[in-house]
Amino acid sequence: MQFASRLDNVETSAIRELFKLLGTPGIISFAGGFPDSAMFDVEGLKEASARALDEEPGGALQYGATEGYEPLRTQLSAFMKTKGVDVAPSGLIVTTGSQQALDLLGKTMISPGDKVIVEGPTFLATIQCFRLYGAELISAPVDAHGVKTDELEKLIAEHQPKFVYLIPTFGNPSGAMLSLERRKKVLEMAVKYQTLIVEDDPYGDLYFGEAPPPSIMALSQGVPGSRELIAHCGSLSKVLSPGLRIGWMIAPPELLSRATMCKQFSDAHTSTFAQATAAQYLKSGRMPATLANVRKVYGERALAMGAALTRELGDAITFTQPNGGLFFWARLTGANGKIADASVLAKKAIAQLVAFVPGAPFFAENPDLATLRLSFATANVEKIEEGIARLGKAL
């Protein structure tokens, strides 16, 4: 059987092999990118789902508009308003998780050979998703304050990309938060180079202390001409439930209408059953308490992991303590002859019954073999301390 040539652009993920080992009994895993199932507001979602079927069974079970279920678009518009983004319900479309927003951006925007700038490192599924549409990915370097805007500007000027893809707030895997100053620079660059900026923001609500700076989309309202150059992807997956598969995309009208056409032929529309449930949940007023809860619990876990890493691995590792999101991004220093290759450490770690993800696959170009990603979301404090102690032993 001869498959489409676009499949030649992607490889089976190295991480996939690692994930097969996670079933080993007794393993403590920091490898996933999941929220903790124990945090789901099951009762609230059960009520929301029952209400959806009671109040408008036709709407929840019938075909719906490709753009999204109107009551959910209204709720999402209001939710975005609480985050400083002024968008009408018609200014966003509902997507089947924010993964589908990425897919639609690829389908709508990328012709084979087009260049797209991403962060180095960036979300693994973004790399593969865009490559399937034939994108040539250019990697812009990141530090603790997010993408380095000086270098980003050089890359934009040199490559004239179709768009720039950023996860500015608690990025996956970097955990980094793009500073307010750099956010403004990104907006200025969008206007200067007339370049579309895609802001992927699944983690922005997951902050542990102070709220992060406003999103690039929110800030665009203050930078004349920039709003029409920003696409913003949101998601309920990390804060409410990934299983609903509810994401959304805000984008300039012309892009939004073409992405909607592409979505029509991708899955017709996102499950109206899930959409009506999400709409009822947002309407119920339970979201603020749910957010407060996940922020508190993940915040405690992040602190515990930071302290354990310092205690158990000392100068063999460097990292920036994340103020939100789900991840530590760390780098092996190789101090005192310790292991400096994260994929080597990953194998030794599995033998000690602890798992994490090496960082190399998260780079579209020039992988840094010393990097690794640790999720603090799914293990409790006790398991985190035990797991990091095992990691120290493996090292």
**Interaction with its own copies in 71-110: which residues (CB under 8 A)?**
95-97, 99-100, 102-103, 107-110
Q: How many whole angstroms separate alpha carbon 280 and alpha carbon 48?
A: 5
Q: Is 70 in the site for its own copies (CB under 8 A)?
A: no
Cα(235)–Cα(95) distance, rounded to whole angstroms? 9
Residues 303-362 touching its own copies, rule: CB under 8 A, are none
* Residues near its own copies (CB under 8 A), total: 73
Separation between Cα atoms, residue 363 and residue 385, nearest integer Å: 29
Q: Does 12 bind its own copies (CB under 8 A)?
A: yes
For the bound state, the minimum distance from the C-beta of residue 370 to its own copies, rounded and expressed in Å, comes to 27
Query: Does 269 participate in binding its own copies (rule CB under 8 A)?
Result: yes
Name which position in 21, 27, 132, 191 contacts its own copies (CB under 8 A).
132
Task: At 147, give phi and psi (nearest 5°).
Answer: -65, 140
- Residue 102 or 370: which CB sits closer to its own copies? 102
Q: Is the separation of the CB atoms in 294 and 206 below 8 Å?
A: yes
CB of 147 to its own copies, least distance (A): 22
User: Cα–chain-centroid distance for residue 22?
Assistant: 22
Rounded to an integer, what distance in angstroms lies between the CA atom of residue 327 and that of residue 106? 26
Calpha distance 161→111 (Å, rounded) = 12
Angle at the Cα of 316 from the Cα atoms of 313 and 321, rounded to 5 degrees: 65
By CB under 8 A, residue 374 contacts its own copies? no
Query: Contact 73/87 with Cβ under 8 angstroms?
Result: no
The footprint of its own copies on residues 203-222 (CB under 8 A) is none
Applying CB under 8 A, among 31, 60, 297, 350 the residue interacting with its own copies is: 60
Q: Which is nearer to its own copies, 19 or 348 (CB)?
A: 19
Pick the binder of its own copies from 73, 162, 227, 373 (CB under 8 A): 162
Q: Which is nearer to its own copies, 267 or 300 (CB)?
A: 267
For the chain, counts of helices (H) and of strands (E): 14, 14
In the numeric block, which tokens belong to residue 199?
């802001």
Q: Is 37 in the site for its own copies (CB under 8 A)?
A: yes
Q: Which residue, 42 or 211, is less far from its own copies as judged by CB? A: 42
- Per CB under 8 A, 252 contacts its own copies: yes
